[in-house]
Structure 1
Amino acid sequence: MMKTKFEEIVDVSRIGSENTKGFNELMVLANAEKITPSREDVEKVLLMGIDFQNDFMENGELGVPNSHKDVERVTKFLYQNLDKVTTIALSLDTHELHQLFHPSWWVDGEGNHPVPFTVITREDVEQGKWMAVEQQQESLAYIIQLERLGKKQLVIWPYHCIEGTYGAALEGQFSNMVHYHSVIRQSNIQKIVKGQDPLSEMYGIIKPEYAKTDGTNYAFLHSLLAYDKIVIAGEAKSHCVLESVRQIVEYYGDKHELPSKIYLLDDCMSPIPGFEEATEHACKELQRIYGIHIVKSTEFML
């Protein structure tokens, strides 16, 4: 039985805003709990949180609608399963201002930068509609590779998750819960920084959309084999969550049992507007081909 109430850890009214609870205050509560350390778990469970960061909250620079409810539900799920989740792994989208998916990378013939959500195609660059401020040939080559590989088109995103800023930090209430878990279960949080290559997008936690060198995180991929269940939530469902899942299941393939250990908490993730239908179709295809599970946090029992 937990001594600390959920409301003492998470203030749902402050999701997406300043976190007023200090770590030391939180750790006093955590140190009062007496729960078996995660190293003694018989069934090993990984909770993977994708990009639960301030800039993806509803009032963030690249806000995802319904993200506050997603955080509320995932923190409640973790609270109810503090004694069952063995390890937490978190991805942290981390950028600089000058990267090829930000407006500053491109200009038109009059020196104007593209507005957010502009799609830049190979034809746009070859015809001079958009020009890279620098590394023009490398930028065009990247777009050509995206088209060759059948990847998402290059979208110019609002500036977001700039390294060292508030927007790049974990959402405060989610941070409270995952660090609380870390203390009471004596389990280190795996924090995986992604997206720092100026010449590539990196939606998935495993590898960039395209890069000249192999940027695959093989160590994390192979660590997944240690778990009996892999539970995934995060933002945005349409991009970073979907691509993370796709990268994992495609690596292991339909002849390996690992994809069938994946459980998507469907009510703890939301898509970027305009991508809803394509996202649902893609998730159902991954479910059909690889046997992943799509569940609701309120119904899924560990």
Structure 2
Amino acid sequence: MDTGLTLLVIDPQNDFMDMPGAALPVAGAKADMARLAAFIDQAQSRIDAICVTLDTHHSVGIERPAMWVQGDGRDVAPFTQVSSADVRAGKYRPRRDGDLPRVLAYLDALEAGGRYSLMVWPVHCEVGTWGHNVEDELRAAYNRWEAARLVPVRHVMKGMNAWTENYSALQAEVPDAEDPETQLNTRLVAQLDRASTIAIAGEASSHCVRATTEHLVQHMPSRNAGKIVLLQDCMSPVAGFEAQAGEFLDAMRRKGVRVTTTAGLLRDVDA
């Protein structure tokens, strides 16, 4: 059944906002959320469903500083990239020696996938913290939508498995055979695909928006990438990854995904 316009908001959380206290601020994110909140208010009666994904982590994990030390035992700083070759050469190693086989197997599988290399990120979006919460202005806007439509926003958490990265809201980068939560979320993919238009926004265009959109295009049953709309004025890249964000948008355009702004989508829904 066609559900009209679905808004998919990727990880609109405090720790990604460019404001004091954020653990992993993305320049422009706060303004992105203000524009998205305004869009929700303006298009309130035309939005049929809203799905919000939440990056959800422990303080320790394979991409957290606590996991890693340098070869000489010193701590590994956030924003350090770690490759399987680095680990085999002794440049970096897991803090707990017994984790080495599992870590190497993970890095080999991650690199074979060709999407990402392991990055040691600052601790962010730890479950139960302020940083995990949705940015206030956006949350207030979708609360108003809920009250007007009497339909709850769907919240989807990702990232609780400490042994794999989960940029995408649909599947971990290296699925864990023993953890169904890391496998492709076929139910969510199917639900999104029932919409005639899937508008995507959130943070960051270089990572989690990118990974989620790529998986959606790859796995949606209809194979109709033309129903996906990326709201370019409601997403920004992580600093230093601007080129990757640009490559992502170009690649999606080639697959038929529309890249526009909230103003452009508003013109469409009002037509």
> Is TM more than 0.5 here?
yes
Cα distance in 2, alignment partners of residues 137 and 99 from structure 1? 15
Calculate percent identity across the aligned residue pairs.
31
Matched, 1:126 2:105: no
* Cross-structure match for 1:190: 154
* Cross-structure match for 1:70: 32
* Cross-structure match for 1:300: 265
**SS at 2:152's partner residue?**
coil
Matched, 1:276 2:242: yes
Cα distance in 2, alignment partners of residues 226 and 279 from structure 1? 27
Cα distance in 1, alignment partners of residues 95 and 230 from structure 2? 40
Could you tell me the TM-score, scaled by structure 2's length?
Answer: 0.92
Letter of the 2:257 partner, please give it: I
**Aligned counterpart for 1:227 among listed residues 180, 187, 195:** 195
Structure 1 residue ranges without an equivalent (≥5): 1-40
Deviates more, 1:94-103 or 1:128-137: 128-137
Superposed, 1:157-176 pairs within 5 Å as 157-176=121-140
Cα distance in 2, alignment partners of residues 188 and 43 from structure 1? 15
Cα offset, 1:44, TM superposition: 1.4
Query: Cα distance 1:72–1:124, how it changes in 2: closer, same or farther (>3 A)?
Result: same
Cα offset, 1:148, TM superposition: 1.1
Number of aligned residue pairs: 259
Cα distance in 1, alignment partners of residues 82 and 142 from structure 2? 38
Cα distance in 1, alignment partners of residues 176 and 56 from structure 2? 20
Cα distance in 1, alignment partners of residues 249 and 73 from structure 2? 40
Larger of the two Rg values belongs to structure: 1
**SS at 1:238's partner residue?**
coil
Cα offset, 1:233, TM superposition: 0.3
Cα distance in 2, alignment partners of residues 111 and 124 from structure 1? 14
Cα distance in 1, alignment partners of residues 189 and 8 from structure 2? 12
**SS at 2:58's partner residue?**
coil
Structure 2 residue ranges without an equivalent (≥5): none
Matched, 1:52 2:12: yes
Cα offset, 1:66, TM superposition: 0.5
Letter of the 1:49 partner, please give it: V
Query: Cα distance 1:46–1:109, how it changes in 2: closer, same or farther (>3 A)?
Result: same
Deviates more, 1:124-133 or 1:78-87: 124-133
Deviations 1:153-191, CA, capped at 9 Å, x for gaps: 100111100110000011111111111111210112110
Superposed, 1:49-128 pairs within 5 Å as 49-59=9-19, 60-128=22-90
Deviations 1:87-124, CA, capped at 9 Å, x for gaps: 11000001011101110001123322211110001111
Query: Cα distance 1:87–1:116, how it changes in 2: closer, same or farther (>3 A)?
Result: same
Cα offset, 1:268, TM superposition: 0.4
Q: Which ranges of 4 or more aligned residues in structure 1 deviate by more than 4 Å?
A: none
Cα distance in 1, alignment partners of residues 47 and 231 from structure 2? 14
**SS at 2:234's partner residue?**
strand
Cα distance in 2, alignment partners of residues 165 and 152 from structure 1? 27
Cα distance in 1, alignment partners of residues 5 and 63 from structure 2? 35
Cα distance in 2, alignment partners of residues 44 and 176 from structure 1? 23
Cα offset, 1:248, TM superposition: 0.4
